[in-house]
Amino acid sequence: MGLLSRTVQSVARQREWSRRHFWGWLNAVFNKVDHERIKAVGPDRAAAEWLLRCGAKVRFEGFDRWHHDYNGLPTGPLGRYKIQAIDATESCIMHRGFDYLDGLKYVEEIKLNKCIYIEDICLERLSSVENLQASLYMMEVVSCGNVTDKGIIALHKLRNLEYLFLSDLPGIKDKEMTVDRLQRALPRLDISLDLD
């Protein structure tokens, strides 16, 4: 009886691993950057398609509502719709898709809430995008378990960042030092913390 039980448990674990592996692979495919698509439809449309494909939402300049349906993206002339805000709550965006952010010039707000694939390299990449350094002024990083002090400190490159909300980030080990480094680099930055 013990052998049968162990065999069943082993098969269940393998099935769970296979399922996780499949979803990880599929999410990586969703995040693959299509440079030809960026050239064809422009950076904002291509980025919106990537974000929605991964389960995020976008808000375009001049709109109050969030777009979350890939098939409901507005159409029109190339370059007409500019992404103003990104809400990546519970999405599968990961660093390999962050090249889509390079051409975005009007993003003012980004919310990264409960994003299991967001890690330090993502925040470092996001912070290195020159257009975002100029346009982004509001950001949230909440319940992203792979983010550490290193990733948060990398946000110092976002020179126009005015508001940063950080919550439920177990990877942050020295919040006083992290906040101090950000405040010294960005004196206008208002940081709200809920890290206990």
What is the CATH architecture assignment of 32-194? Alpha-Beta Horseshoe (3.80)
List pLDDT tens digits, range 106-123. Answer: 999 999 999 999 999 999
Show the beta-strand stretches assigned E in the chain.
57-60, 83-87, 109-113, 138-142, 163-167, 190-194
Q: What is the pTM of this model?
A: 0.87
% the chain with pLDDT above 90: 78
pLDDT tens-digit map of 130-189 = 999 999 999 999 999 999 999 999 999 999 999 999 999 999 999 999 999 999 999 999
| pLDDT at residue 44 tops 80 | yes
Dihedrals phi, psi of 57, to nearest 5 degrees: -125, 155
Dist CA 32 CA 14 (whole Å): 27
Element (H, E) at 82: none
Residue type at 92 in one-letter notation:
C
Torsions phi, psi of 15, nearest 5? Answer: -65, -45
Query: What is the domain partition of the chain in residue ranges?
Result: 32-194
pLDDT for 30 equals 73
Whether residue 20 has pLDDT greater than 80? no
